[in-house]
Structure 1
Amino acid sequence: MSFPWANEYKPSHPFMQWMDDRLPLPRLVFNSVGAGYPVPRNLNYFWNFGFLAALCLIVQIVTGIVMAMHYAANTAVAFDTIEMTVRDVNWGWMMRYAHANGASMFFIVIYVHIFRGFYYGSYKAPREMVWLLGVVIFLLMMATAFMGYVLPWGQMSFWGAKVITGLFGAIPFVGEPLQQWLLGGFAPDNAALNRFFSLHYLLPFVILGVVILHIWALHIPGSSNPTGVEVKAESDTVPFYPYYVAKDGWFIGVFAIVFSLMLFYFPNSLGHPDNYIPANPMSTPAHIVPEWYFWPFYAILRAFTQDFFFIPAKLMGVLAMFGAILVWFFLPWLDKSPVRSGSYRPLYKKFFWFGLIPAMAVLFYCGGAAAAEPYVMISQLAALYYFAHFLIVLPIVSAIEKPLPLPYSITESVLGTDEAAQLAPSGSV
């Protein structure tokens, strides 16, 4: 974000001057997360989750590299190598549980980050590319997490891989060849485990690359804010350092306490008991269920129980499951309201808090429940509203609602009447 009042990096030390002339890395850091990056002064704690997500990604990469040092992608020993790492490797238990629970914490952070974007209209112009790259990151996370869940080669790992890869078989004509290509055979075995391990190791670095693009795209228009009003004057901003560095640091401390409590006292609370049993292709678990962060999309998949003319129910479920995420790509064009923030959109706010949030909560619950009534019917109703919210409710609401008056500037929304901002030229952004 470039403003005329932004500080410029001027190194004083001769070495830093030499470095900045030849490799402007200090200038890049200064302009990205330092005093040279002006940020809206009214950001609330929901804006800390972006920085927290980057921290979670680093934790996953570091712990994943350590785990890979002791893991063998072979169905005969994969389960035992995980147990050996936990029991015999120095601090191996911490690496294993930090990686497993770190994935859950990562998804919690990302879900809050995404729904903050829904509420505050972070997908609206001029930040469409920031949003689109964020959705790409989420899809890559889902793929990475699924492959990681297979690697321990427990009962849920094996049967989860069999069920999820079996969904590709529902695609007409190319489904079964695609499924065999993914698995390297007709069922999950050594070939599949090697492929999943290789991709699980690679994809976090792909995610890191997309995160860099995500941050780069963010720095062009600058951060959004809870009012949705663009920056108009210097009084609307504060330097990222020290203000938001301190705020992010405090929030990271709170996150570290919560993460540590889970890691040291409840390390297995989010894992399925059956996945602590070695994989057995001859014994099907009574209730096959993915990790909790897949539950809403798994509920949508299972919501389709009847064929529709010539379209099989399984195919409709697969299309709906992927469509539940792909619809996010079109939000910048589905929501035509000129007002970004849900705080100033009374009708949208009601549909968000009493429609979308309850529907997602129901899908989370039904995705982890048994595939039986009444959970199937409830998930059908919740899935129906979920798609209706984005494809019907959002466009209609954005066209008919009357938004509340917006503050003139960010400073006015924080401190009241802002004479400096009112006197600033209209083109000073």
Structure 2
Amino acid sequence: MSFPWAKEYTPTTAFGQWMDEKLPIGRLVYNSLGAGYPTPRNLNYMWNFGSLAGIFLVVQIVTGIILAMHYAANADIAFDSVEHIMRDVNGGWMFRYAHANGASFFFIAIYLHIARGLYYGSYKAPREMLWLLGVVIYLLAMATAFMGYVLPWGQMSFWGAKVITGLFEAIPLVGKPIQELLLGGFAPDNAALNRFFSLHYLLPFVMAGVIIMHIWALHIPGSNNPTGVDVKGKQDTVPFHPFYTAKDGWALGLFLIFFCLMMFFLPNALGHADNYIPANPLSTPAHIVPEWYFWPWYAILRAFTFDFLFIPAKLLGVVAMFSAILVWFFLPWLDTSPVRSGTYRPKMRVAFWILIVATIILFICGGAPAEEPYVMLSQVAGAYYFAYFLIILPLLSRIEKPLPLPNSITEAVTGKPLEKAS
């Protein structure tokens, strides 16, 4: 977005001027993250989670590269190589725990970032491409995390791979070939482990490339804000640096405190004990579950317990699980309300918080055994989840009467009209 009042980048040294002429990296950073990028003055702490997710992706890439130097992608010794990292490599336990818990913190930031976007209407025009790229990033993160979960080659790794790849078998005609292509055979073995390790190493860099496009798409229309009102003038903005770098830094410090508490004192709290047992194809765990950040989709998958007409329940569950995420791609066109922010949409706000409760229920049910009352709760919560996106939002877009919007961001912050606020 073009801001006529943005401060221009001016190198102060001869070397800086030479670099700006030959390779203007300094100008790019200044215009993207510095005073050259004016930002709405009313952003709250919910706007910190995008940068936090980016920082934890860097943590994952750095620790992943170090772990890859010592990991052996071979079904016979993969489990032992992880134990070697934990016991024999200098600092190996720390890098492994940082990588395992870093994935959880990455997804915490991602989920809060998505929730903020849903509440404040960050998917609406002119930010549709920004939202679509964000959904692509989430799908890449899911694929990366699943493949990383397989690499320790413990019991939950092996059987998680068998169950999840087995879902493709439910797809008519092409499902079985896709499953065999993923595994490199008929069951998880050495070929599957090599494939997953290769893709797990590659996909974070692909994700980083999409994040660059995501940030690029952000800078074209500029950031959304809690009011959903467009920037009207210089009074509505502040430079990204130092105002929001300081705010991001405070949030990062708080996040890192909890991250260090988990890494040093509760490193296995978010994992599963069965993954410290070597993979055994002849011994099925009593309760197979994916990592906690996949639980809502796993609950939706298991919510289908009977066939419908000629469609098997397993296929219905697979379609519903993937559709639960793919529906986000259509959100900018499902919600046609001219008002972005849920702050000014009272009925939408109530429906949104019910959605949050339904999602929490899906989280709980996804990690619980596939028995009552969890199956029934998954069905009810899953039904509301789809109804929110496909029925409630489109309907409210037409019938809801929003509250009066402020004339500008400045008016919302100061209570004074734009021309008087200065």
What range is the shorter-chain TM-score in?
over 0.9
Aligned mates of 2:171, 2:109 — CA distance in 1: 33
Partner of 2:338 in structure 1? 338
In structure 1, the residue matched to 2:268 is 268
SS state at 2:160 partner: helix
- Whether contact under 8 Å (1:40, 1:237) holds in the other structure is yes
> TM-score, normalised to structure 2's length?
0.99
- 2:95 maps to which residue? 95
Query: Structure 2 counterpart of 1:135, which letter?
Result: V
- Per-residue Cα deviation, 1:349-394 (whole angstroms, up to 9, x for no partner): 01111x2011101100000000111111110111111000100011
Residue in 2 aligned with 1:367? 366
User: Secondary structure of 2:226's partner?
Assistant: coil
Question: SS in structure 1 opposite 2:39?
Answer: strand
Q: Which amino acid aligns with 1:59?
A: V
- The reply on whether 1:66 has 2:96 as its aligned counterpart is no
For residues 51 and 290 of structure 2, what CA distance do their matches in structure 1 show? Answer: 27
State how 1:372-383 maps to structure 2 within 5 Å: 372-383=371-382
Consecutive unaligned residues in structure 1, runs of 5 or more: 424-429
8 A contact 2:410–2:418 mirrored in 1: no
> Which stretches of structure 1, 4 residues or longer, exceed 3 Å deviation after superposition?
none
Q: Does 1:169 align with 2:164?
A: no
Q: Give matches, 1:7-406, under 5 Å.
A: 7-353=7-353, 355-406=354-405
CA-CA distance at 1:421 after TM superposition:
7.0
Give the Cα–Cα distance (whole angstroms) in 2 for the partners of residues 348 and 114 of structure 1. Answer: 16
For the Cα contact (< 8 Å) 2:159–2:288, is it kept in 1?
Answer: yes
d(CA) in 1 for partners of 2:385 and 2:264?
Answer: 37
Q: Tell me how far 1:87 sits from its aligned partner.
A: 0.9
Aligned-partner residue type, residue 376 of structure 1: V
Alignment RMSD, CA only?
Answer: 0.9
| Structure 2 counterpart SS, 1:250 | helix
Question: Is the Cα–Cα contact under 8 Å of residues 232 and 421 in structure 1 kept in the other structure?
Answer: no
Between the aligned partners of 1:294 and 1:250, the Cα distance in structure 2 is: 29
What amino acid maps onto 2:183 in structure 1? L
**Equivalent position SS for 1:316:** helix
1-structure distance, mates of 2:136, 2:418: 42
Q: What CA deviation, in whole Å up to 9, does each residue of 1:273-331 have, x standing for no partner?
A: 10110000000000001000000000000001111111111111000000000000011
Per the TM alignment, residue 29 of structure 1 is displaced from its structure 2 partner at its CA by 0.5
For structure 2, list consecutive stretches of 5 or more residues without a partner in the other structure. Answer: none
SS in 2 for 1:229: coil
Checking the alignment, whether the CA contact within 8 Å between 2:156 and 2:274 is kept in structure 1 is: yes
C-alpha displacement of 1:174 = 0.9
SS where residue 101 of structure 2 aligns?
helix
Whole-angstrom CA distance in 1 between matches of 2:203 and 2:418: 50
**1:420, CA displacement in angstroms?**
2.2
Distance of aligned partners of 1:75 and 1:419 in 2 relative to their CA distance in 1, 3 Å threshold: closer
Cα distance in 2 between the residues matched to 1:416 and 1:303? 49
> Is the Cα–Cα contact under 8 Å of residues 101 and 263 in structure 2 kept in the other structure?
yes
User: Distance between the aligned counterparts of 1:421 and 1:36, measured in 2?
Assistant: 25
On the 8 A contact 2:71/2:78 being kept in 1, the answer is: yes
The one-letter code sitting in structure 1 at the alignment partner of 2:219 is H
TM-score, normalised on structure 1? Answer: 0.97
Residue in structure 2 matched with residue 408 of structure 1 by the alignment:
407
- Counterpart CA distance in 1 for 2:51 and 2:144 is 20
Aligned twin of 1:426: none
> What is the one-letter code of the residue matched to 2:338?
P
For residues 137 and 238 of structure 2, what CA distance do their matches in structure 1 show? Answer: 29
CA contact (8 A) 2:235 2:418 kept: no
In 1, the alpha carbon distance for the partners of 2:283 and 2:83 equals 21
Preserved contact between residue 411 and residue 421 of structure 2 (Cα < 8 Å) = no
- Give the secondary-structure state (helix, strand or coil) at the position aligned to 1:283: coil
* Contact 1:150/1:157 (8 A) holds in 2: yes
> Is the Cα contact below 8 Å between 1:411 and 1:421 reproduced in 2?
no
Query: Equivalent residue of 1:83, what SS?
Result: helix
Residue 39 of structure 1 aligns to a residue whose secondary structure is: strand
> C-alpha separation between the residues in 2 aligned to 1:165 and 1:188?
9
Distance 1:11 1:270 in 2: 48
AA aligned opposite 2:326: L
Q: How far apart are the structure 2 equivalents of 1:49 and 1:188?
A: 36
Q: CA deviation at 1:422?
A: 8.6
**What percent of counterpart residues are identical?**
74
Deviations 1:201-232 (A, max 9, x none): 00000000000000000000000000000000
CA distance in 1, matches of 2:39, 2:260: 31
Query: Contact conserved, 1:235 with 1:421, CA < 8 A, in 2?
Result: no
How far apart, CA to CA, are the structure 1 residues paired with 2:370 and 2:50?
A: 35
- Whether the aligned pair in 2 keeps the contact of 1:151 and 1:157 (CA below 8 Å) is yes
